[in-house]
Structure 1
Amino acid sequence: MEKLYASYNGHVEFLIVYVREAHHEMLKEGHKTGVVG
């Protein structure tokens, strides 16, 4: 279970970095997706 969590946590961190770097326009305030970073 611990191994699964560690793997999942790493995947989530990767997604956060990916979105921040590759799709930073999605994080701008007021964007139509409603995502604010």
Structure 2
Amino acid sequence: MLHELCHLLVPDHSRAFFRLLDGHMPDWRERKTRLERLLA
């Protein structure tokens, strides 16, 4: 959800996008990995 909200400010997956995502959810990479494992 946060990923999509960040796209309202930064429309691509540039460094700016990931800086914004990191600023609001520093552990997003770990959460992404956990979700991918659950869905595998």
Larger Rg: 1
TM-score (norm 2): 0.33
TM-score (norm 1): 0.34
Whose relative contact order is higher, 1 or 2, with alpha carbons under 8 Å and at least 6 apart? 2
